[in-house]
Structure 1
């Protein structure tokens, strides 16, 4: 990218920088050089995308790996990717910074024995107005995973915004922040004093906790595809179960709140609990047909700290505050910024697109 470099590892200037608190990867689409995206939540790994002399967007670090089509689709991030795609397609140089070593953040597709399943959001809700329904078929990304540092601060005291990390500084005319609200509220990223209202708003929009566990079925006999059951409708401490999602030989368990936090503290507790509930529903013989193959622990992910946002009582307006800009150059997007579609992937998508469109309008 053009501009003075303050670090040998990071480009120092970009017209627009997007800071995303979810997964890390460098992506490019050889078939469509103008579109360059990185993925939006547990290690210190931001993503940097650079521009070649011919205008093609390239991954600068290390070997390039190809992700499977299902992997890319299931792990699309939300607000950051939406803004990044739209801005890059307009011809701007766009720098996207990602936090972790996995695509998708709170949208997490895992794989086992030829199967794939979702540990985070797993549905395209409201398909008639969900932008991901259009994006999902667009595959072909190449992924480069590199160890990089997390952004620790944004300084707005100068002409350009300055982002600080352990490996150097980045300057940008504008920055879009799409990290989860609990990360913002924690102070993990030092924001300018004029963003104090945004930090307070993030605190009023904490993340709840919903975790999943995936069992592989050795025998699908007796389980109708796409069936939903509740473990025990008479108690609060229970889980729900999706039997054979998409016809696969899987059972997806879903638990939230206090029970989820309890299970996260004990690695095997969720699996044992779910087996007991399923045995109570279908008989003890089901135990030998269940193999636990994956489990989420979103509260223990330091760049997520939870699942999806909810407004504290009498604080719904905090979403409007969080979605506001700071001096027309520091912006916030993500599901928590959506008044109508909060807690969803398409809500995050819509907020990212809205910010990107506003930035482009302001440049005209």
Structure 2
């Protein structure tokens, strides 16, 4: 891999294009923008590339701390890149619709729960169709719960995993707009490693440990203030998470009120992971799923033996994840142990050891995991796609109209923003990108 420019190297005083952020969207944008005669630099606040796609090494394996699934794999622009980058595409189906050991749920219960969730989704879709026909409102998705259903708490726990927020905080229209082909695959070595390898193509123009603090748009050129100095550019592709724009950690000056309102309307929810090793793993079937409780949304999902490894991957979402992260990594591990002990017996306490814990909510460069639109704010994703003065272009999973919350959605949006930037610079259109974005 080509070494990234050292943090001690000076920044150029002026370039044609600055891409802010070297996650999936930033890497995709930079790859698309590379043209003879076009000067460009990618500025990344972290000391690594990949953003919320990050694979942590552990005993020769790769543990995905952020995105881990190639969602809608049969329509995912990154699926074909896995083997092309020398990695392994694993097509084992996800275990999400199963319940290991039939814990607290008989097969009949599991079927009843699946039907209850399908009925809920259908009510949301019917309401969204009415809204698009000019009737009704964009309401909280929780409004479409059956108030007499015993499964509402379980569905809200799953919303924490799907949306990073409970259904009361999720726009029904936006939730219905999500695209899902039902095909979900993985990268055995890690999804984060795939994004990092794709980033090698722009490593020579990527500078890490370089946080952009302000984009001054008052002059004929955009002036960027960073922790390493200043530079000017004709075009900026801004791929930082919405949370950093809404809080003005990355400030556009003069401010753009419509943009700030839209970033606030599509905030980042939170999903947190705890990877644990487990002794005597043969007691568990590979790639099975356990939800420990049905009576509360304050519970986690547990992927048993992912890839057949002697491990358990815990997943916590929404307010549960925010609260645990605020207490520190040990709290996440302790909560996972307490739930697994309660579900599977006291011996689990001796069998589990922490391997890695994510912390996207407390990470200063993400402040959350992935976006959801608040009720009444589904249209804000489209607002985020509108360029500022045809020279500041936003991109990321939050701007994706269909595949939001995913790495490939961010990738497609990076390409879309790059195509718009090239058009603003007078380059011929990228037809393939235009077709994918339409």
Aligned residues: 303
For residues 228 and 415 of structure 2, the distance between their equivalents in structure 1, rounded to whole angstroms, comes to 30
Q: Show the counterpart of 1:138.
A: 85
Counterpart of 2:294 (choices 218, 223, 233) is: 233
Let me know the Cα RMSD of the aligned residues.
2.2
Q: For residues 255-283 of structure 1, what are the alpha-carbon distances to aligned partners after superposition, in whole Å with 9 as ceiling and x for unaligned?
A: 01221122112232221221121122222
Counterpart of 1:297 (choices 350, 355, 359) is: 359
Comparing both chains, which one has the higher relative contact order based on Cα–Cα distances under 8 Å and sequence gaps of 6 or more?
2
**Contact map agreement 1:208 1:310 (CA 8 A) in 2:** yes
Q: For residues 318-361 of structure 1, what are the alpha-carbon distances to aligned partners after superposition, in whole Å with 9 as ceiling and x for unaligned?
A: 11111110111110000110111111111111111111122223
- Within a 5 Å distance, the mapping from 1:1-364 to structure 2 comes to 9-20=10-21, 39-40=22-23, 78-88=24-34, 92-136=38-82, 137-138=84-85, 141=200, 148-193=209-254, 195-267=256-328, 268-362=330-424, 363-364=426-427
Give the TM-score taking structure 1 as reference length. Answer: 0.78
Work out which of the two has the higher radius of gyration on C-alpha atoms and give 1 or 2: 2
For residues 352 and 224 of structure 2, the distance between their equivalents in structure 1, rounded to whole angstroms, comes to 47
Q: Show the counterpart of 2:111.
A: none
For residues 63 and 419 of structure 2, the distance between their equivalents in structure 1, rounded to whole angstroms, comes to 33
**Contact map agreement 1:245 1:251 (CA 8 A) in 2:** yes
Deviation at 1:185?
0.4
For residues 315 and 236 of structure 2, the distance between their equivalents in structure 1, rounded to whole angstroms, comes to 35
> What's the secondary structure of 1:275's corresponding residue?
helix
Q: Which consecutive residues of structure 1, in runs of 5 or more, have no partner in the other structure?
A: 1-6, 21-38, 41-77
**Contact map agreement 1:194 1:326 (CA 8 A) in 2:** no
Deviation at 1:194?
5.8
For residues 231 and 10 of structure 1, the distance between their equivalents in structure 2, rounded to whole angstroms, comes to 52
For residues 193 and 129 of structure 1, the distance between their equivalents in structure 2, rounded to whole angstroms, comes to 39
Deviation at 1:91?
6.3
> What's the secondary structure of 2:63's corresponding residue?
strand
Deviation at 1:135?
3.2
Q: Show the counterpart of 2:113.
A: none
**Contact map agreement 1:16 1:95 (CA 8 A) in 2:** yes
Give the TM-score taking structure 2 as reference length. Answer: 0.65
For residues 356 and 265 of structure 1, the distance between their equivalents in structure 2, rounded to whole angstroms, comes to 36
**Contact map agreement 2:44 2:210 (CA 8 A) in 1:** no
Q: Quick check: 308-317 or 146-155, which moved more?
A: 146-155
**Contact map agreement 1:18 1:80 (CA 8 A) in 2:** yes
Runs of 4+ in structure 1 over 6 Å off: 142-147
Alpha carbons of structure 1 residues 194 and 177: separation in structure 2 relative to 1, 3 Å: same
For residues 317 and 359 of structure 1, the distance between their equivalents in structure 2, rounded to whole angstroms, comes to 23
